[in-house]
Amino acid sequence: MSQSPERPARFPLPLGKLVKGSVSNASGAGQREVLMPQRHLREAAADAARQSAPRGLGLDSDMVRRRMVQRLQLEGLSDERVLQALSLVPRHEFVDSALAIQAYEDTSLPIGHGQTISKPSVVGRMIAMLMGGATARQQGRLGRVLEIGTGCGYQAAVLAELSRQVVSIERLRPLHEKAKLNLGKLRSSAQIRLIYGDGCLGYAQAAPYDSIIAAAGGEDLPPAWLAQLAVGGRLIAPMVSAGNRGQILVVIDHLLESGVSRFVRSEHEAVLFVPLKSGVM
Ligand code: SAH
């Protein structure tokens, strides 16, 4: 193939630049031959290769991810540090290869065992709210983080970009193992500690935490979470709202006022998370 540099297309296109190609509908039926410029043919072949081998997102996943982050910014996610963290984590490597093509859409996707990877906009929104906590304000970061519900490990990877250490607990053994594999490939893996256990009990061995984030929603806040939240720290969790009208995001700040420690609770928008369940499997 000629290596000459591509010139901008002129219209009408010179006939010499048109080559025989074929187009077909999604099912492959109704294929017909058309004349198209060589450059378009090469682009179509590259597109087709990307569709049939999503792992091959490879080099251009950076660009697709940047576009996802731009969309999240347009939709109102404004914290630059969170946008930067989202742009660093290869979400397509956390889902099955058959779903990788959808990895940069703002949607939750199945990760097996009845669980889902959270929507990027929700991950971004929750982490931005955590960053607004008192401790985070002082340090401009999340400090030491406890995550309940590792799932495939995606959110743990985003958190790791903004914190000193992430301790993440998962109650389903196969997902805990999957997250180990997914996160093992990342530069930030040294900061992430994965625990197989019941997140309702928190992880007292590494407490207290400056930030606690739950990726599964229950009826009540487990007392262990409050006990393990550092003074000045912030917790964010989906919870079934009073009157059982679905889940909402709840934020708890642990304050110390005149030597007295107290928890201040605020309620935010409606969300949809998998249920928080106790025990391990
Ligand atoms: N943060 C994850 C989201 C996973 S979905 C990601 O980025 O992919 C929520 C996860 O919470 C599920 O994997 C579910 O098994 C887990 N979970 C539910 N209750 C739990 C509990 N008590 N302790 C630990 N994990 C729990």
Query: 254-265: per-residue pLDDT in tens?
Result: 999 999 999 999
Q: Hunting for tokens 């290596």 — which residue is that?
A: 3
pLDDT of residue 144: 96
Q: How far is the CA of 216 from the centre of ligand 1 (A)?
A: 6
Q: Rounded CA gap, 9 and 11, in Å?
A: 7
pLDDT of residue 57: 55
Q: What are phi and psi of 128, to 5 degrees?
A: -60, -40
Q: Whose CA is nearest to atom 10 of ligand 1?
A: 149
Q: Tell whether 128 and 95 lie within a shared domain.
A: no
From 87, 97, 108, 118, the catalytic residue: 118
Show the low-confidence residues of the chain (pLDDT under 70): 1-59, 134-139, 244
Q: Can you list the positions of beta strands (E) in 129-245? A: 144-148, 165-170, 192-196, 209-214, 229-240
Written as six digits, the tokens of 120 are 């990027």
pLDDT of residue 241: 87
Domain end (from 107, 131, 146) = 107
61 is catalytic: no
pLDDT of residue 202: 98
Query: 17-33: per-residue pLDDT in tens?
Result: 333 433 333 333 333 34
pLDDT of residue 17: 39
Domain hosting 194: range is 108-281
Domain total for the chain?
2
274 lines ligand 1 (CB under 6 A): yes
Query: 36-71: per-residue pLDDT in tens?
Result: 445 544 554 444 444 444 445 554 788 999 999 999
Q: Please report, for the domain that includes residue 153, its CATH number.
A: 3.40.50.150
Q: How far is the CA of 66 from the centre of ligand 1 (A)?
A: 27
